[in-house]
Amino acid sequence: MISFLDPLRCLTADNVLWVTLFRLGVATFCGGCIGLERGKKRRPAGFRTHMLVCIGAALAMLISQYLTMMTTTYWSSIVENAGSTDVARLGAQVINGIGFLGAGTIIVTGQQEVKGLTTAAGLWASACMGLCIGAGFVEGALFGGLLIILAIVVLSRVEHWILAHARNINFYVEFSHVDDLGSIITAVKAENIRIFDVELHKKKPTVASTSDTPGALFSVRLPKHMPHTKLMALLAGIDNVRSIEEL
């Protein structure tokens, strides 16, 4: 079956300009679509970051193909073993190099909660999608882009629903004094909530507050049919509890 992409499938000296414009245009669109969703949620890597990653990855593959084309045509008389050029060599470095961007989006909060993994995975997937576009496999990149958007947008709601109804939860509580931790544990156990682990933390003094703020990270298992909101309301009613955050 003949595809409308067949003229753009191979990079040659005659169509290098149109192939480059088409592939970079698709990379800009696909990377922007993924980054737009991340940007709406105020993530560290948003619209422009994902777009640039996808464009850069597509350029890396175009450079590899361009060098291969030149060494087998115009430069063949001055390049030895021109046919042994590895087209995927530069693309492989993109997969390795994208790690520093992904690592920059992953943070560990003061409550020992890891954030940014989805954004880092999205950057890595955008880079792979750009390599796919740069190599000329545009259909695969479009399908991959749709699945990435599906995982980020639609499945995030499914994940949120599952976590909201999970019995095992983690929450962080800040209180006035370390002695208040005993009353919190007593109140939690009174509701038949099983406590797996308790980690006591002390926040360092800040400009707004010169004193340490004690807090505790709880890992618990709720009884059947007990909503998370009931636990939050229970903790909020305890004296000297300053803040509560479900992780």
| Burial readout 179-189 (b: 16 or more C-beta within 10 A, e: otherwise) | ebbeebeeebe
Q: How far is CA 154 from CA 43, 137, 148, 177, in A?
A: 17, 25, 10, 42
Quick one: pLDDT at residue 8?
60
pLDDT exceeds cutoff 80 at 173: yes
Calculate the average pLDDT of the chain: 76
Domain 168-246 has CATH 3.30.70.260: yes
Residue range 61-93, pLDDT digits in tens:
887 777 777 777 766 666 566 556 666 677 777
Contact status, residue 217 vs residue 111, Cβ threshold 8 Å: yes
Residue range 183-194, pLDDT digits in tens:
888 888 888 888
Cite the residue boundaries of each domain of the chain with CATH code 3.30.70.260: 168-246
| pTM check: above 0.75 | no
Task: Give CA–CA dist 232/238, Å, rounded.
Answer: 10
The fraction of the chain above a pLDDT of 70, given in percent, is: 79
Rg (CA), the chain: 26
